[in-house]
Amino acid sequence: MDTPDTKKIAEDVAKQFGEVGERPRRQLERIAMLLGSVWLADIAERAERGLRDAEPFVTRADGSLRTRGGVLFAVARGAAFDLVKSGALGRRDFHRSFCWREPTPRECGGPSAPPKSSPRPKPKVESPPRHPAPRHGRVLQAEVYTVRRSKQ
């Protein structure tokens, strides 16, 4: 659903909020493709109102102020999370579009190469032979009697 309308709205919103980096622009495009350009335009309007009226989401949890783009993404994330709670948006789509995790650097050897670590040698400990554990946790003592029958 990559339409010129979604790309244009994403670019306009990025310019409006001063987002010049490639990552926020791609994220805005992904959001516009997922939820629609009308939804993104509405979120941008809500973020502008929040900045103007000094809403609570303008500040972070530690009390510092968010950037204009940070306010936009905070409003979008909150509105999208409400959609997740109502079931209109899947959790996987939410995390792919609204939660950004920087890729971790990998060592040479390709993306599927296991981490290089030397296996530790296991200490050799002499242990007594193991006997199977009783089923019910205790051992029952039994007496055995032999009975002979006489032949008649």
- CATH number, domain of 26, equals 1.10.10
Q: Please name the residue that has the structure tokens 């936009």.
A: 72
Q: Distance between CA atoms of 16 and 123, rounded to whole angstroms? A: 64
- Domain membership flag for residue 18: yes
Give pLDDT, residue 149. Answer: 80
In a domain, 44, yes or no: yes
60-67: list long-range contacts, CB under 8 Å, 24+ apart. Answer: 67/18
What string of pLDDT tens digits covers the 152 residues of the chain?
A: 457 778 888 889 999 998 888 888 888 998 998 898 889 999 999 999 888 887 777 777 788 888 888 889 889 998 998 998 998 888 888 888 887 666 677 665 555 555 566 677 777 777 666 666 655 556 567 777 777 788 76
What is the domain extent for residue 43?
4-98
Whether residue 121 is contained in a domain is answered as no
For position 56, what pLDDT does the model report? 73
Cα 76 to Cα 74: distance, rounded to the nearest angstrom: 5
pTM value? 0.60
Q: Is residue 110 part of a domain?
A: no
Angle between helices 4-16 and 22-35 (to 10 degrees): 130
**Does residue 8 contact residue 44 with C-beta atoms inside 8 Å?**
no
What pLDDT does residue 42 have?
Answer: 92
What is the reported pLDDT for 9? Answer: 87
| Total domains present in the chain | 1
In a domain, residue 145? The reply is no
Residue 13 lies in a domain: yes
Burial of 80 (0-12, 13-18, 19+ CB in 10 A): buried
Please indicate, yes or no, if residue 89 is contained in any of the structural domains. yes
Residue 104 lies in a domain: no
Phi, psi of 59 (to 5 degrees): -110, 150
Buried b (16+ CB within 10 A) or exposed e, 3-36: eeebbebbeebbeebebeeeebbebbbbbbbbbb
